[in-house]
A and B are shown apart, each in its own frame.
Chain A
Amino acid sequence: SQELEQSPQSLIVQEGKNLTINCTSSKTLYGLYWYKQKYGEGLIFLMMLQKGGEEKSHEKITAKLDEKKQQSSLHITASQPSHAGIYLCGADRNTNAGKSTFGDGTTLTVKP
């Protein structure tokens, strides 16, 4: 989606290293969501951010929302092979929760 730009497109890290994935929106955000997808499977919802400055964590994954910059970052601490997959950000453009848009995804490879 050109509305949501993710960077980088792909990332290869050594196990144990930290990494950050960014998601930048070209339009106003009503809600920002992070999902993970393993090859050949559906997306799994990770976390949701709705307010500027909001930060949420789940295990070793932390997501932050910078409302002014219309940007979110996903940070993984001490990466493990289980973190490998495709990470996608999604956003609501208005109060219609049926019309989310998604970024193109960031493919993460973790080398043991």
Chain B
Amino acid sequence: NAGVTQTPKFQVLKTGQSMTLQCAQDMNHEYMSWYRQDPGMGLRLIHYSVGAGITDQGEVPNGYNVSRSTTEDFPLRLLSAAPSQTSVYFCASRQGNYGYTFGSGTRLTVV
């Protein structure tokens, strides 16, 4: 099994550009979440989904959109990139209350 696959691994954007971070899982997990990790601030929840067609906001949702049309895919869209969105982004999935399986992350720099 591939687990949770994130693409791209690295990305540089200019301020104002938009892009989509891809996330796919092949474990048929019901829950999927997006976190960002910043030095000194730990992991913060951006958006999450409890199943196909159902998404909700996390702690820091502004500037990001998500959708979940299938169980497998949970893309994160940056609408208009800002330097404050420079971070490492992690997608994670889980089934029930078992631990998360994390992707390897996307390092995003906004200049």
Contact B99 A48 (CB under 8 A): yes
Given the known interface contacts A97-B97, A98-B33, A100-B33, the answer about A44 and B45 at a Cβ–Cβ threshold of 8 Å is: no
Q: How far is the CA of A41 from the CA of B43 in the complex (A)?
A: 13
> Is the CB–CB distance between B42 and A97 below 8 Å?
no
Is B32's CB under 8 angstroms from A45's CB? no
Contact B100 A43 (CB under 8 A): yes
Indicate whether A45 sits within 8 Å of B50 (C-beta atoms), given known contacts A98-B31, A105-B42.
Answer: no
* In contact, A98 and B90 (Cβ under 8 angstroms): no
| Complex interface residues of chain A between 21 and 58 (CB less than 8 A to chain B) | 30-31, 33, 35, 40-48, 50
Which listed residue (A30, A41, A90, A96) contacts B50, Cβ 8 A? A96
Contact (Cβ within 8 A) A43 B90: yes
Contact, CB under 8 Å: B94 / A97: yes
How many of chain B's residues touch chain A, expressed as a range? 20 to 34
Complex contact A41–B105 (CB within 8 A): yes
Whether B31 and A102, one on each chain, are in contact in the complex, defined by CB atoms closer than 8 angstroms, is no
CB-based contact A99/B48 at 8 Å: yes
A residues 1-39 with Cβ under 8 Å of B? Answer: 1, 30-31, 33, 35
Complex Cα–Cα for A100 and B99 (A):
10
B contact residues around A102 at 8 Å (CB) = 35, 42-43
- Inter-chain CA distance A48–B99, complex, in Å, is 7
Which 7 residue pairs spanning A and B have beta carbons closest together? A45-B99, A98-B48, A42-B102, A104-B42, A102-B43, A43-B102, A98-B31
* Selected A-B contacts with CB under 8 Å, 9 pairs: A45-B101, A46-B99, A50-B97, A97-B31, A98-B56, A99-B58, A100-B33, A100-B100, A101-B45
